[in-house]
Amino acid sequence: MGQFQRIGRRTVEAADMGGDLEKILLTAEQIDARLAQLAAQIDEEYRGRDLLLVGVLRGAVMTMADLSRKIRIPLEMDWMAVSSYGSGTKSSGVVRILKDLDTDIQGRNVLIVEDIIDSGLTLSWLRSNLLSRGPESVRIATTLRKPEAAKVAIDVDYVGFDIPNEFVVGYGLDYAERYRHLPFVGTLAPHVYGG
């Protein structure tokens, strides 16, 4: 697959995962540069305030690791695990908490860190859930958002990229638990999910 031999300035061997990928939407370099801009904005807007990043497992691991390392102001981190997708490509709409926060967020400034907002169902549910715990504020940062897929309106404070309504993998995002480790965001070839 010729188009996968060079990604940004780096050669990524076997990046096509044996022909599973169709195209690359965002390179590792593009993601890195955009997260640096978001981190600078977060530094500016939270300076002098308490900041608790809440990463949403498992997809947000890459975003959390990269975004948090670019933020210069003091912060704390905690994690929640929620799931609404199971092993398919469509949200079930039913969000389950698989792991709750270890931190009491009452009076805290919470910034939810996500990999993607697709239908918006997960984040809309999660925001209300966290708001019911009495925090000072709850905001959202996400690497990706699909505006055309929105089923609920949701205010997102920090968005890396708006992308088309296609199922994507890489940079934390999986299909049946695979492809999360890819450093870029791409789409899958139809044969992978039976197209």
Ligand X SMILES: O=P(O)(O)OC[C@H]1O[C@H](OP(=O)(O)OP(=O)(O)O)[C@H](O)[C@@H]1O
Q: Does 85 bind ligand HPA (CB under 6 A)?
A: yes
194: left (phi over 0), alpha (psi -120 to 50) or beta: left
Known catalytic membership, residue 118: yes
Q: What is the dihedral of CA 26, 29, 31, 36, to 10 degrees?
A: -160
Q: Which of 16, 66, 115, 118 is catalytic?
A: 118
Q: For residues 122 and 82, is the Cβ–Cβ distance under 8 A?
A: yes
Q: By CB under 6 A, name the one of 114, 135, 143, 171 that touches ligand X.
A: 114
Q: Among 12-20, 43-51, 62-70, 163-171, which window interacts with ligand HPA (CB under 6 A)?
A: 163-171
Tell me the residue type at 181: H
Question: Distance between CA 110 and CA 128 in Å, rounded?
Answer: 12
Of 4 and 163, nearer to ligand X (C-beta) is 163
Q: By CB under 6 A, name the one of 17, 173, 182, 192 that touches ligand HPA.
A: 173
Chain residues binding ligand X by CB under 6 A are: 56, 58-59, 83-85, 91, 114-123, 174
Question: Which residues does the annotation mark as catalytic?
Answer: 118
